[in-house]
Structures are given as C-alpha cells and as structure tokens.
Amino acid sequence: MAVALEIDDLHAWYGESHILHGLSLRVEQGQVLTLLGRNGSGRTTTLRAIMGLTGARKGSIKVHGTETIQLPTHQIAQLGLGYCPEERGIFASLSTEENLRLPPKLKSRRGKVMSEDEIYAMFPNLSERRHSPGTRLSGGEQQMLAVARILRTGADILLLDEISEGLAPVIVQALARMITQLKSQGFTVLMVEQNFRFAAPLADHFVVIEHGEVVESFTAAELPAKQALLDELLSV
C-alpha cells in the first residue's frame, strides 16, 4: 500500500522550547491513524509541524513522497493536506454556506472534491443551518462545518485535532460515521483524540507519544494485547 504521509526524526520548536524529539511515523493511503498521549505530550504539535505552523523544524516530512520540511504552509496544503484544528476557525461574520465556500480548491486535488450537495447529504444539520451565522451554530455543527470545508478542497489527507471533544454523544456518533465513510472513499486520516472510545473502532493504527517521542506503535488487531500498557501510558 502506498504511503501517504511519512515522518522521520522530526524535531520541532516553539521559540526556544524543544517540543518534538525525533518523532517518526508513517500513515498509509486510506488508513486511519490515531495519535494517543497525555495532554502536553506533543500530539497537536505533531499536526502543526506537519503543516509548517510551529517554529523551527528539523527532520523529514514527506507527503505523497514529496519532502516538505522546507516548504511554507500554503505549499504543503497544496500537496493534499487538510488541517482541522481544535479551535475550528469558523468565521462569525460569514454564514454556514459562506464558511463552506471560503477555502479554494487545491490545484493537485488528489482526493475527491465533494460538492455542496454531497456535503449537505453527509451533514444534514448544515443544510438546515446554511444561512445561519457561523458562530450561531452549536459546537457540534461548527465541528461538522470545519471538516466539511476541507472536503470541498480536494485534500485527501485529513489532520483532525480532537474533533469529538466536548460534543454530545449523538454528534460524536455522526462524526464516527463520517470518518468511516471517508475511509471507504480512500481518504487518509491522522487524528489526535483523547476520547479513546471514539477512536478505537475507527483506527487502523495507533501511535502513543510521550514528551515528543513515539513510545509505542501498534495495529488495531494488537489493541487487546496492548490495553494494559495503554492504561499505564495514558493513565486512563
């Protein structure tokens, strides 16, 4: 299977703070990989470093085989990456529909460019609220909109940061169905999740990070055998 995203010996800094210490991982095309770890372990920094949003970076980050460590963020995104940060970034002055239409389509368009009709079919709540200001949406609807914006661009690798955090169970279930559907369509997903119950049935592979380093990596099939170790590492 082709490798969509490959990270090797990645170091990243915020100012003088050295956050990632030689982190390495790979995500195969069409795979869902979940980054696990305690708060402050470096999971979000990993996503930000992939997009070139930290300070200094050193090492290797290849997107579909193209080295990106020296590229600016907009060029990294053009290779097929879509980043959904924890804060969502919904514009208050724009309607749901305007927020959805805001990002341009990527030139590469490696992934499926979803039409508005397809997106509204996936997220019926957004269809009903298409003329509402972005910040009048519920937290769950804002999360749906943040992901939906990416699906219009043609990105085929989604970086999702804590998309289930603080949401009602019915919305979390809808997001789980979304990830399953995207995976069936060939999208690649790298997600940071604190909600292990949400992530466990979705992921093909798990990587545990501590102090900016990978301390454990295993497949979904190995999960039962790793449960005791996970409880120790994550203090669940």
State how far the Cα of 184 lies from the Cα of 235, in Å rounded to an integer: 33
**pLDDT tens digit sequence for 149-171:** 999 898 999 999 999 988 889 88
Select from 170, 174, 168, 111 the least CA-distant residue to 145: 174
pLDDT of residue 187: 93
**pLDDT tens digit sequence for 86-106:** 888 899 889 999 999 998 888
- State the pTM of this model: 0.93
Report which secondary-structure segment, H or E, holds 48: helix 43-50
Share of the chain above pLDDT 90, in %: 71
Residue 31, pLDDT above cutoff 90: yes
Q: How confident is the model at residue 209 (pLDDT cuts 50, 70, 90)?
A: very high
pLDDT of residue 110: 67
CATH topology of domain 3-234: Rossmann fold (3.40.50)
**pLDDT tens digit sequence for 107-128:** 766 667 888 999 999 899 899 9
Rounded average pLDDT over 41-63? 96
Residue 13, pLDDT above cutoff 90: yes
pLDDT of residue 204: 96
pLDDT of residue 202: 95
Max distance between CA atoms of the chain, in angstroms, equals 49
pLDDT of residue 232: 83
- How do the domains of the chain map onto residue ranges? 3-234
pLDDT of residue 109: 62
Rounded average pLDDT over 43-61? 96
Q: How many CA atoms lie within 13 A of 149 on its CB side?
A: 26
Select from 57, 73, 85, 80 the least CA-distant residue to 5: 80
Q: Are 182 and 188 in contact (CB under 8 A)?
A: no
Strand pairing class (188-192; 205-210): unpaired
- Averaged confidence pLDDT in the chain: 91
pLDDT of residue 108: 66
